[in-house]
Amino acid sequence: MKENIFVTRPSMPPWEEYTERIKPLWDSHWLTNMGELHNTLEQELKEYLGVEGISLMVNGHMSLELALAAMKFPQGAEVITTPFTFISTTHAIARNGLEPVFCDIKSSDYTIDEDKIESLITEKTVAIVPVHVYGSICNLERINRIAEKYELKVIYDAAHAFGSTYKGKGIGTFGDASVFSFHATKVFNTIEGGAVTFRNPDLYTKLYNLKNFGIRSEEIVAEVGANAKMNEFAAAMGLCNLMHIEEEMGKRKKLMERYRELLVPVKGIRLLEEQIDVKPNYAYFPIQIDETVFGRSRDEVCDALKQQGIFCRKYFYPLTSDQICFGDRYRGLPLETARSVSKRIMVLPLYADLQIAQVEEIVNAILACQCNRIK
């Protein structure tokens, strides 16, 4: 029977490498609470990402929630963000008692439309939470200028952008903080995990308190905090995967190049443009299907591929602002580009172990949908 192809598949280090890493834990019995592997990974990632400060977390979502919490914004304050993202971004804002203010996106790279941010700023605005969606980098310079002009904080959701650089600088060095996800489905994974990167050293202590119940010593709890620590087994996975990160991205790059070669000539299918000054991380391969030109809708293509055991995903449909958990609250907002992209987008399978022949099979399956219509 033919193997199903999913949108992604986590990369795992050789079994022996992982077991070597975790073996000492059977002697030490030290499994979590900022253990040796946690601290080593924190140092190694600091160097790899080229950041001044980093705090490891249990996952990307808690990294975002706690990065926002660390800023100590007043309840009800407004945060300008994008609706074209994973629900985590919006939930992190809402769960901090803040009001998400949704800004439209650009059709060129699907990131927040910097031209529309200023018109959304009010007296209650405290921050901008842009997302480097699919690893597409936001307009860092314009966002920085807007933030400086209005004295706003910028917290980048860089869940998709691990290892990317802009003008040679690590993507985690921009804004007041950047948040990474090391979930199993990401370019770099610690099974579950995440991190906040930052320049202000005060944030290290604030985040430490927030991720460890505010405990400073056996008898002192200095702050109200949660539990969002990364454990030693996750850190061990990270240390192993970090050794193979260049190989991981190299394999993804080759697959992406083949996708591009095959799909660029296809009318009605739009690919993400490469960005100037950006070293990409080859995280996702989204395509937009224009039904009027291609002859088949995104949903028809997705369903047809599913029938053949190819499981693409409609990241990100519906927009987070239109999810039922928010009722009709944001349904009338002028988010034309985001709504249009969201209806046409699908993400094709991409992971290091995917074979070039499978990429060709996926593209053939897409093209076959078109032929079926023409017949």
> Among the residues of the chain, which ranges form H helices?
15-22, 24-28, 36-49, 60-70, 87-94, 140-150, 202-211, 232-243, 245-263, 291-294, 298-307, 336-344, 356-374
> Residue 127: which of 163, 89, 180, 169 has the closest Cα?
89
Q: Is 106 in the site for ligand T4K (CB under 6 A)?
A: no
Nearer to ligand T4K, 282 or 294 (CB): 282
**Whole-angstrom distance, CA of residue 332 vs CA of residue 339:** 11
Which of these segments, 152-160, 213-221, 285-293, 329-337, binds ligand T4K (CB under 6 A)? 152-160
Q: Is 88 in the site for ligand T4K (CB under 6 A)?
A: yes
Nearer to ligand T4K, 85 or 231 (CB): 85
**Whole-angstrom distance, CA of residue 253 vs CA of residue 267:** 23
Closest residue by beta carbon to ligand T4K: 60
**Whole-angstrom distance, CA of residue 139 vs CA of residue 113:** 8
Q: Is 314 in the site for ligand T4K (CB under 6 A)?
A: no
Q: Is 321 in the site for ligand T4K (CB under 6 A)?
A: no
Cα 135 → chain centroid: 7
Q: Is 181 in the site for ligand T4K (CB under 6 A)?
A: yes
**Whole-angstrom distance, CA of residue 341 vs CA of residue 287:** 10
Q: Which residues, 6 or more positions from 345, have their beta carbon under 8 angstroms from its beta carbon?
A: 110, 286, 287, 288, 298, 314, 315, 316, 317
CB of 333 to ligand T4K, least distance (A): 20
Residue from the set 13, 34, 37, 61 that interacts with ligand T4K by CB under 6 A? 61
Query: CA torsion sign, 121 to 124 to 127 to 133?
Result: negative
Q: Is 185 in the site for ligand T4K (CB under 6 A)?
A: yes
Q: How many residues bind ligand T4K (CB under 6 A)?
A: 25
**Whole-angstrom distance, CA of residue 228 vs CA of residue 340:** 36
Q: Is 85 in the site for ligand T4K (CB under 6 A)?
A: yes
CB of 86 to ligand T4K, least distance (A): 3
Instruction: Please say whether the beta carbons of 41 and 242 come within 8 A.
Output: yes
Burial 42-57 (b: 16+ CB within 10 A, else e): bebbbebbebbbbbbb
Q: Is 91 in the site for ligand T4K (CB under 6 A)?
A: no
Q: Is 65 in the site for ligand T4K (CB under 6 A)?
A: no
Nearer to ligand T4K, 161 or 370 (CB): 161
Nearer to ligand T4K, 177 or 370 (CB): 177
Nearer to ligand T4K, 157 or 370 (CB): 157
Residue from the set 86, 198, 233, 282 that interacts with ligand T4K by CB under 6 A? 86
Q: Is 81 in the site for ligand T4K (CB under 6 A)?
A: no
Which of these segments, 1-9, 111-119, 142-150, 356-364, binds ligand T4K (CB under 6 A)? 1-9
Site for ligand T4K in 283-312 (CB under 6 A): 311
Nearer to ligand T4K, 298 or 370 (CB): 298
Q: Is 175 in the site for ligand T4K (CB under 6 A)?
A: no
> Among the residues of 23-154, which ranges form H helices?
24-28, 36-49, 60-70, 87-94, 140-150
Q: Which residues bind ligand T4K (CB under 6 A)?
A: 6-10, 59-61, 64, 85-86, 88-89, 131, 157, 159-160, 181, 183-185, 194, 311, 313, 315
